[in-house]
Structure formats: C-alpha cells, structure tokens
C-alpha cells in the first residue's frame, strides 16, 4: 500500500511538472505569436502610410491639374467674350489640331513600316531556315548514299561468306565450318550495324523535313533603326510641309504655351492663318508624292546617325539635327525652297516624335 501511495504521489508530481511545462510552452508560443503579429502590424502600418503619402501626392497633382483646367476655361471664356481675342483662340486650337493631325500621320506611317519590316524580316528568316534545312538534307542524302554503298558491299561480303560456309558439308568439313562460323557472325553483325545506321539516317531526314518554321523573335535592332530613321524623315517632311508662315513652329508653341499668352494678330490675320491651316492639313492628308523624298531623307539621316550603344535604336539627337530642303537625286515636290530649316525634330520632339519611335 505504501509503495502504491508513493507511486501515485510520484505520478501526480510528474503530471504536475508536465502540466507546468505545457503551460510554459503555451505562454512562450503566445508570446512568440504576439511578437510576429506586432512585426506584421508594423509592416502593414508602414505600407499603409506609404500608400497614404502616394494618394496625397496624387490628390495634389489632380488638384493642380483641375486648377489649371479651370484657369484655362476661364481664360478661354474671357477670350471668346472679345471678338478679336476669340479669333486668336480659334487659331490656337486649330494649330493644336494641326499638331495632332501630324502626330496621327506619323503613328499610321510608323505602324505601316513596322508591318512591312516584320514581313521582310520574317520572309528572310524563313528563307534562311529553308536554306539551312536544304543544306542539312543535302549533306544527309550524301551520307545516306555513302552508307548505302557500304551496306551493299557488306551484304555482298556476307552472302559470299555464307555461301562458302554452306558449301562446307559433311563430317570432313566440320572443323572448317566451326572455324568459319565466327567470320560469318562478324560479317552479319557488320551488315546489321550498317543497316541500322541507314535507318537512323532516314529517321534524321524525316525529322529535319518535318521540323516546323521557327517562331518570329521580333524585329532586329537594325530593323527598328531603319523604321525610326524613316519616321524621323517623315517628321522632317512634315516640318517642311508646314514651314510656310512658320506653321510648324506656331503649332509647337501652341502645344507648349497656355492660351492666355498667345497673340496671332487682328481678326483678318487670324482668318488668314486659319484658312492656311485648313489648306495645309488637307494637302498633307492628300499628298502621296513624297516617297522619293522620304527615301532620300532616310538615307541622309542614316549616314549621319550616331548611337550611344550597339543596342540603342534611337539615334543621338545632336547627330540628326537640321532639315535639308533638297538632297541629290531626290524630288522634294512642292516643298518650300530656301535655306535648310534649323529644326531638330528629335531634340525638340516635334509631333510628339518620342512617343512614335520604337525601342
């Protein structure tokens, strides 16, 4: 009984220790959970604070844009209330429309060039693939002919050995047959090896013949440079086209200057400008005779263009400055004659050129 009591007391004591250990581990786990929860909450708080700062900055920017728009609207209302100022406002917006029309023409032109260049490069890729496949098949066919000749020779040799072997009949030729048997097996193995080699070559030919065209990897750097040079040439052409009465410069100023600061003169001056703007836009849209000019401009630009690295597709702006109004062997049509136009369409971002060029 005493031993049972002692054992029971020991069990109770051991159970108490285990229970205290369990409570201690539970408390440690809770403390660890609280620590990680606190760290997670701090991280979430930091992220939320960054989001709040970003949203506040966005709100400030939106408020500035709204105030600018409200100022422009009030300025426009004030100008429209005055007849002469109203005509100036109309010239201002028509010049902005001229800019947008030129930009649209550049974008369409660039998309057409991309499609054409992709078609050219894809055709070249397929042609080179077919040429390489033809070269591989030709080499393989030559190898097949060579191995086929080896197979025929091995077959003839095997047949001759087998004939001699089969002629050795009777007990008197027993030892000769035994000595020839390894030779027969060796020739048979050689013949089988050559036959397997031919089958492998035929499998290789089937694999090459059934290989699909490779995926198009995209325009090459040289292809993208060609497109960009043509787009810059078109931008120059548009500057020349709108050079009369400095329409190009006036349009750029209208895009960079607020309406409150513009002044195009009297009512008659504004009417004259608006008439010229409309005619210039119509003639730009209908003109289809500038292919030789663009070709000459692109060639001239490529001869001048410099790049910062071998991977760059946009030239350094200073290397393509100035607009020639005549080039050897090119018909510039009805462009304005005179001295070269000192406009760098890339550096001054005429017609939002930077948005059109491709990387």
Largest CA distance in the chain: 134
pLDDT on residue 19: 47
- Same domain? For 107 and 224 the reply is yes
Of 185, 210, 235, the domain-final residue: 210
- Same domain? For 136 and 192 the reply is yes
pLDDT on residue 32: 66
- Same domain? For 269 and 230 the reply is yes
Of 210, 229, 263, the domain-final residue: 210
- Same domain? For 119 and 132 the reply is no
Tell me, yes or no, whether 44 lies in a domain: no
pLDDT on residue 26: 66
- Same domain? For 159 and 196 the reply is yes
- Same domain? For 194 and 224 the reply is no
Tell me, yes or no, whether 60 lies in a domain: no
The full 3-state SS of the chain, as one line of letters, equals CHHHHHHHHHHHHHHHHHHHHHHHHHHHHHHHHHHHHHHHHHHHHHHHHHHHHHHHHHHHHHHHHHHHHHHHHHHHHHHHCCHHHHHHHHHHHHHHHHHHHHHHHHHHHHHHHHHHHHHHHHHHHHHHHHHHHHHHHHHHHHHHHHHHHHHHHHHHHHHHHHHHHHHCCCHHHHHHHHHHHHHHHHHHHHHHHHHHHHHHHHHHHHHHHHCCCCCCCCCCHHHHHHHHHHHHHHHHHHHHHCCHHHHHHHHHHHHHCCHHHCCCCCHHHHHHHHHHHHHHHHHHHHCCCCHHHHHHHHHHHHHHCCCCCCCCCCCCHHHHCCECCCCCCCCCCCCCCCCCECCCCCCCCHHHHHHHCCC
pLDDT digits (tens, 9 = 90+) for 15-51: 555 545 545 556 666 666 666 777 777 777 778 887 8
pLDDT digits (tens, 9 = 90+) for 208-263: 988 999 999 999 999 999 999 999 999 999 999 998 888 999 999 999 988 888 88
What is the domain range of residue 198?
128-210
Query: Which residues of the chain are modeled with pLDDT < 50?
Result: 1-2, 8, 12, 19, 22, 337
pLDDT on residue 226: 96
- Same domain? For 253 and 280 the reply is yes
- Same domain? For 247 and 102 the reply is yes
Q: Which pTM does this prediction carry?
A: 0.70
- Same domain? For 11 and 143 the reply is no
Tell me, yes or no, whether 9 lies in a domain: yes
- CB within 8 Å of 251: residues ≥ 6 apart: 95, 96, 98, 99, 102, 242
Is 293:330 a contact under the CB 8 Å cutoff? yes
Counting the structural domains of the chain, the total is 3
Nearest to 315 by CA among 328, 303, 327, 306: 306
Dihedral of the alpha carbons of 165, 168, 172, 175, in degrees to the nearest 10: 0
In the chain, what is the straight-line distance between the N-terminal and C-terminal CA atoms, in Å?
A: 95
Tell me, yes or no, whether 59 lies in a domain: no
- Same domain? For 123 and 133 the reply is no
């Amino acid at each position: 009984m005493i031993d049972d009591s002692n054992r029971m007391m020991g069990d109770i004591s051991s159970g108490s220790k285990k229970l205290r250990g369990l409570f201690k581990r539970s408390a440690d786990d809770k403390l660890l959970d609280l620590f990680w929860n606190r760290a997670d909450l701090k991280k979430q708080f930091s992220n939320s604070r960054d989001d709040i700062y970003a949203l506040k900055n966005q709100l400030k920017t939106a408020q500035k844009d709204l105030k600018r728009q409200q100022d422009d609207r009030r300025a426009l209302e004030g100008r429209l209330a005055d007849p002469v100022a109203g005509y100036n406002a109309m010239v201002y917006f028509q010049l902005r429309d001229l800019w947008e029309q030129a930009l649209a023409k550049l974008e369409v032109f660039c998309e057409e060039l991309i499609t054409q260049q992709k078609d050219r490069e894809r055709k070249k890729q397929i042609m080179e693939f077919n040429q390489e496949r033809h070269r591989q098949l030709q080499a393989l066919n030559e190898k097949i002919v060579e191995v086929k000749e080896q197979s025929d020779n091995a077959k003839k040799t095997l047949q001759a050995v087998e004939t001699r072997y089969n002629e050795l009949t009777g007990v008197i030729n027993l030892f000769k047959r035994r000595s020839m048997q390894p030779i027969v097996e060796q020739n048979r193995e050689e013949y089988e090896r050559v036959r397997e080699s031919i089958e492998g070559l035929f499998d290789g030919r089937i694999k090459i013949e059934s290989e699909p065209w490779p995926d198009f990897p995209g325009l090459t750097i040289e292809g993208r440079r060609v497109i960009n040079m043509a787009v810059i040439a078109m931008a120059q052409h548009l500057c020349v086209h709108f050079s009369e009465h400095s329409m190009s410069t006036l349009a750029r100023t209208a895009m960079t200057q607020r309406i409150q600061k513009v002044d195009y003169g009297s009512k008659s001056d504004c009417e004259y400008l608006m008439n010229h703007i409309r005619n210039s836009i119509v003639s730009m849209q209908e003109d289809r005779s500038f292919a030789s000019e663009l070709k000459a401009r692109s060639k001239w630009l490529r001869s001048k263009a410099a790049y910062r690295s071998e991977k760059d597709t946009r030239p350094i702006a200073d290397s393509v400055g100035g607009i020639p109004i005549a080039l050897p062997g090119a018909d510039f049509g009805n462009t304005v004659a005179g001295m070269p136009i000192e406009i760098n369409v890339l550096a001054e971002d005429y017609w939002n050129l930077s948005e059109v060029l491709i990387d």
